[in-house]
Amino acid sequence: MKGADRGSDMGRATEILAFGGEDAARRMETIVSQYETALLRYAGRILNNPLAAQDVVQNVFIKLFRSLGAGAGPIAELKAWLYRVTHNEAVDHVRREARLRLLHSKYESETQAECRDGRHCSATVNAERRQLVLEQLRRLSDREQQIVLLRLEEGLSYGEIAAVTGRTEGNVGNILHHAVKKLSARLKKAEVAS
Amino acid sequence: MNCDNVRDRLTQYLLGDLDAPERAGIETHLEKCEGCRASARDLQPTLDVLRDALAATAPAGERLSPAHRARVRRASAHRSRRVAWWVAQGHPKLVAAAALVVIGAFLIGMMLPALSMSRGRACAYRVPKGSGAPAVSVARAVRIDREMKRQLEAGGLGEDADADGLGDSYETSTEEAPEKLRMGTAREAAGPPDSQGWALTSAGRDGGPAVRPGYAGASEVPPSAGPVGGEPEQPEGLGYGRVAEVGKEFNGAVSGYPSAPDGSSMVKKKRMAGKMGAGAGIERGFIAGGVATETTLDAEGEREAPADGHKPSPAPPPQKAEPRPAEIDSVTIVKSPIIMKGIYGARSPGTRGGRVTADYGAAPKEEAQPAAGPAPAAKPAAPERFDEAARLEDRRKADNGEIAEARGEEDSRERRESDRGAFSRIPAAALPPPSPERPGADRPESGRAWPARHQRLNEELADLAENMEKKEKESEESLRRPLGIAAAPPPVAMAGAKMGVGGGGRPAEDARTGPRFKAVGVNPFHSAAERPFSTFSIDVDTAAYTLARNYMLRGFLPPAEAVRTEEFVNFFDYAYDPPERGLFRIYAEWAPSKFGRGLYLLKIGVKGRRLGREEQRAAALTFLVDTSGSMAKPDRLELAQRSLRLLVERLAPVDRVAIVQFDSHARLVLEHTPASDRAKIAAAIDGLQCSGSTNLEEGMRRAYEVAAAAFAAGGENRVLLLSDGVANLGTGAAADILARVERYRAQGVFLSVFGLGMGTYDDEMLETLANKGNGTYAFIDSDEEARRVFVDDLAATLNTIAADAKIQVEFNPERVAQYRQLGYENRQLKKEDFRDDKVDAGEVGSGQSVTALYEVEMAAGGETHPGAAGAAPPLRGGDLGRGETHPGAADAAPPLRGGNLGRGETHPGAAGAAPPLQGGDFRVSGGGDRAIPAWQGSPPKAGGAGGAAPIAVVRVRYRRTADGAVEEIERPVTEADRVARFDAAGARFRLAAGVAEFAEILRASPFAAGSGFEDVAAVLRPVALELDMDGRVAELLRMAEAAGGMSRGE
- Residue B654: how many CB atoms within 10 A of its CB? 15
Q: Which residues of B touch A137 (CB under 8 A)?
A: 50, 53
Taking the Cβ of residue A90 and every Cβ of chain B, the question of whether any pair is shorter than 8 Å is answered with no
Taking the Cβ of residue A181 and every Cβ of chain B, the question of whether any pair is shorter than 8 Å is answered with yes
**Which residue among B481, B507, B693 sits closest to A34, beta carbon to beta carbon?**
B507
Cα dihedral sign for B785, B788, B791, B796?
negative
Residue pairs between chains A and B whose CB atoms are closer than 8 Å: 237
Question: Per the confidence metrics, is the pTM higher than 0.80?
Answer: no
- Whether B509 contacts B726, CB under 8 Å: yes
Residue by residue, DSSP assigns A10-48 as GGGTS-----SHHHHHHHHHHHHHHHHHHHHHHHHHHHT
Residue, of B553 and B880, whose pLDDT is higher? B553
Q: Which residues of A touch B17 (CB under 8 A)?
A: 1-2, 158, 173
Least confident of B188-202, B435-449, B853-867: B188-202
Contact flag B485-A32 (C-beta cutoff 8 Å):
no
Residues B520 and B492: their CA atoms lie apart, in Å, by 19
Q: Which residues of B touch A180 (CB under 8 A)?
A: 11, 43, 46-47, 50
Contact flag A158-B759 (C-beta cutoff 8 Å):
no
Residues B193 and B430: their CA atoms lie apart, in Å, by 8
What local confidence, expressed as pLDDT, does residue B266 receive?
A: 47
Shortest distance, CA A47 to any CA of chain B (angstroms): 13
Contact flag A176-B88 (C-beta cutoff 8 Å):
no
**Which residue among B17, B43, B693 sits closest to A184, beta carbon to beta carbon?**
B43
Taking the Cβ of residue A151 and every Cβ of chain B, the question of whether any pair is shorter than 8 Å is answered with yes
Contact flag A25-B73 (C-beta cutoff 8 Å):
yes
What local confidence, expressed as pLDDT, does residue A31 receive?
A: 81
Contact flag A134-B682 (C-beta cutoff 8 Å):
no
CA nearest B75 in A: which residue?
A62
State pLDDT tens for residues B112-144. Answer: 876 666 554 544 444 444 444 444 444 344 444
Taking the Cβ of residue A99 and every Cβ of chain B, the question of whether any pair is shorter than 8 Å is answered with no
Q: What phi-psi label fits residue B400: left (phi over 0), alpha (psi between -120 and 50 degrees) or beta?
A: alpha
Residues B809 and B954: their CA atoms lie apart, in Å, by 4
Residue B656: strand pairing partners: B620, B674
Q: Which residues of B touch A26 (CB under 8 A)?
A: 502, 505, 1049-1050
Taking the Cβ of residue A125 and every Cβ of chain B, the question of whether any pair is shorter than 8 Å is answered with no
What local confidence, expressed as pLDDT, does residue B325 receive?
A: 43
**Which residue among B56, B72, B1049 sits closest to A62, beta carbon to beta carbon?**
B72
Contact flag B68-A54 (C-beta cutoff 8 Å):
yes
Please state the ipTM of this predicted complex: 0.77
**Residue B263 DSSP code:** H
pLDDT band at B589 (very low <50, low <70, confident <90, very high): very high
State pLDDT tens for residues B472-525. Answer: 666 566 555 544 333 333 333 333 333 333 333 333 333 344 555 666 678 888
Q: What is the mean pLDDT of residues B384-400?
A: 57
**Which residue among A17, A33, A180 sits closest to B11, beta carbon to beta carbon?**
A180
Q: Which residues of B touch A151 (CB under 8 A)?
A: 15
Q: What is the mean pLDDT of residues B948-964?
A: 85
Residues B978 and B592: their CA atoms lie apart, in Å, by 9
CA nearest A153 in B: which residue?
B54
Q: What phi-psi label fits residue B912: left (phi over 0), alpha (psi between -120 and 50 degrees) or beta?
A: left
- Residue B458: how many CB atoms within 10 A of its CB? 12
Q: CA end-to-end span of chain B, whole Å?
A: 52
Q: Phi and psi at residue B755, in whole multiples of 5°?
A: -85, 145
Shortest distance, CA A175 to any CA of chain B (angstroms): 10
pLDDT band at B37 (very low <50, low <70, confident <90, very high): confident
Residue B667: strand pairing partners: B661
State pLDDT tens for residues B719-746. Answer: 999 888 755 566 677 788 888 888 888 7
Residues 17-36 of A with CB under 8 A from B: 17-21, 24-30, 32-34, 36
Between the alpha carbon of residue B946 and those of residues B102, B149, B949, the distances in Å are: 85, 123, 9
Q: CA end-to-end span of chain A, whole Å?
A: 36
Shortest distance, CA B213 to any CA of chain A (angstroms): 59
pLDDT at B103 over 90: yes
Taking the Cβ of residue A50 and every Cβ of chain B, the question of whether any pair is shorter than 8 Å is answered with yes
Question: Could you tell me where the beta strands, DSSP code E, fall in B163-262?
Answer: none
Contact flag B57-A111 (C-beta cutoff 8 Å):
yes
**Which residue among B483, B633, B645 sits closest to A17, beta carbon to beta carbon?**
B483
pLDDT at B294 over 90: no
Q: Which residues of A touch B558 (CB under 8 A)?
A: none
**Which residue among B82, B487, B630 sits closest to A5, beta carbon to beta carbon?**
B630
Between the alpha carbon of residue B677 and those of residues B72, B398, B517, B681, B706, the distances in Å are: 49, 123, 40, 7, 18
Residue B526: partners with Cβ closer than 8 Å, 6 or more residues away = B534, B818, B819, B820
Q: Which residues of A touch B71 (CB under 8 A)?
A: 58, 62
CA nearest neighbour of B14 among A1, A153, A155, A143: A1
Question: Which of B9, B79, B642 to probe the A interface (max A CBs under 10 A)?
Answer: B79
Residues A74 and A18: their CA atoms lie apart, in Å, by 9
Contact flag B479-A19 (C-beta cutoff 8 Å):
yes
Residue by residue, DSSP assigns B426-478 as S-GGGSSSP-TT-TTTTS-TT-PPPPHHHHHHHHHHHHHHHHHHHHHHHHHHH
Taking the Cβ of residue A189 and every Cβ of chain B, the question of whether any pair is shorter than 8 Å is answered with no
pLDDT band at B662 (very low <50, low <70, confident <90, very high): confident
Residues B717 and B621: their CA atoms lie apart, in Å, by 6
Q: What is the mean pLDDT of residues A85-99?
A: 80
H or E element: which one contains A184?
helix A169-193
Residues B124 and B409: their CA atoms lie apart, in Å, by 9
What local confidence, expressed as pLDDT, does residue A24 receive?
A: 64
User: Is B399 in a helix, a strand, or coil?
Assistant: helix
Shortest distance, CA B781 to any CA of chain A (angstroms): 14
pLDDT at B98 over 50: yes
CA nearest B62 in A: which residue?
A37
Taking the Cβ of residue A138 and every Cβ of chain B, the question of whether any pair is shorter than 8 Å is answered with no
Contact flag B72-A27 (C-beta cutoff 8 Å):
no
Residues A48 and A139: their CA atoms lie apart, in Å, by 13
Q: Which residues of B touch A131 (CB under 8 A)?
A: 53, 57
Shortest distance, CA A102 to any CA of chain B (angstroms): 19
C-alpha triplet B91, B92, B93: angle, nearest 5° = 90
State pLDDT tens for residues A18-53. Answer: 444 556 667 778 888 888 888 888 888 888 777 788
Contact flag B502-A30 (C-beta cutoff 8 Å):
yes
Give me the amino acid identity at B855.
E
pLDDT band at B22 (very low <50, low <70, confident <90, very high): confident
Residues B374 and B381: their CA atoms lie apart, in Å, by 9
pLDDT at B448 over 70: no
State pLDDT tens for residues A132-150. Answer: 888 888 888 888 889 998 8
State pLDDT tens for residues B960-993. Answer: 887 778 888 989 998 888 998 888 888 999 999 9
Q: What is the mean pLDDT of residues A86-109?
A: 67
Strand pairing report for B749-756 and B716-723? parallel
Residues B651 and B584: their CA atoms lie apart, in Å, by 25
What local confidence, expressed as pLDDT, does residue B66 receive?
A: 82
What local confidence, expressed as pLDDT, does residue B83 receive?
A: 46
pLDDT at B452 over 50: yes
Least confident of B87-91, B154-158, B592-596, B711-715: B154-158
Contact flag B54-A149 (C-beta cutoff 8 Å):
yes
Shortest distance, CA B62 to any CA of chain A (angstroms): 5
Contact flag A32-B486 (C-beta cutoff 8 Å):
no
